[in-house]
Amino acid sequence: MRRRLLPLIMLPALAACASDRSYVSDPQIRLAGTEGLPVPGKNDIYGQQRPYLIGPLDKLDIKVFGVDDLSLKVQTDASGRISMPLAGVIEASGKSPAEVAALIETGLRGKYVRNPEVTVNLEDTVSQVITVEGEVREPGIYPAVGKMSLLRSIATAKGTSEFARLQDVVIFRTVDGQKMAGIYNLKAIRQGNYADPELFPGDVVVVGDSQARRFFRDAVQVAPAVVTPLIYLFSR
């Protein structure tokens, strides 16, 4: 029995010649382009280094220069808030660490600390992650901190397994509420045929075979992603 892990679609990269074809048998899946997956918006990746946006249950390291008693490690609550001594409750979710530091400085300034200097650093994240599954050595969920690419995400998962299909790598993504996916060829990327695509929080990478990949096998059949990726939209 097939299990629908991802409400998305799959995509491949076309070869350069026009004879390369993609066959779509499912009317709710359609070809959208060959320029790669679009960048998700702030609402899609809720909260993503562009800069990193803090989310619920993230762990932060807060330092107030010269005031050791106010330097502490905190975890945002389920709504993305933190409670800071003297500064009160801070709405951290959806803000960058620098923005949260500025809010804390505002709360401390004047009444408690003359010229507060605050730094906020991310210590651990559970709200912004990338999932890597399929034929990799260590499938799992990994923090999306900094600029993450497809090749880097696979390296983070300790590389591909012995039986991985390097020409069959799918990235699933949601942009403006639209579910979509793309198929990439790792060999083609390493050879410089096209750029290593950037990943964003919430992306799911499937290397080779998986239950998610098999879900689309009957609906979409494509040539290997040799020159440029194909993007499909999934309307379900």
- pLDDT tens sequence across 72-103: 999 998 788 999 988 899 999 888 899 999 99
CA nearest neighbour of 36 among 158, 216, 210, 203: 203
Residues sharing a CB contact under 8 Å with residue 83, sequence separation 6 or more, in sequence order? 74, 89, 90
Residues 103, 175 within the same domain? no
pLDDT of residue 224: 55
* Domain ranges, residue 63: 59-124
Q: Which residues of 40-52 are buried (b: 16+ CB within 10 A; e: fewer)?
A: beeebbbbbeeeb
pLDDT of residue 4: 39
In a domain, 50, yes or no: no
Residues 101, 213 within the same domain? no
pLDDT of residue 103: 94
pLDDT of residue 100: 95
Which residue is listed with tokens 């499909």? 232
| Cα separation, 81 vs 21, whole angstroms | 50
In a domain, 69, yes or no: yes
pLDDT of residue 194: 86
pLDDT of residue 228: 62
The segments of the chain whose pLDDT lies below 70 read 1-36, 38, 41-51, 209-233, 235-236
pTM comes to 0.57
| Cα separation, 134 vs 140, whole angstroms | 10
CA nearest neighbour of 16 among 205, 229, 220, 227: 227
pLDDT of residue 36: 66
Of 91, 106, 124, which one is at a domain's C-terminal end?
A: 124
Residues 116, 168 within the same domain? no
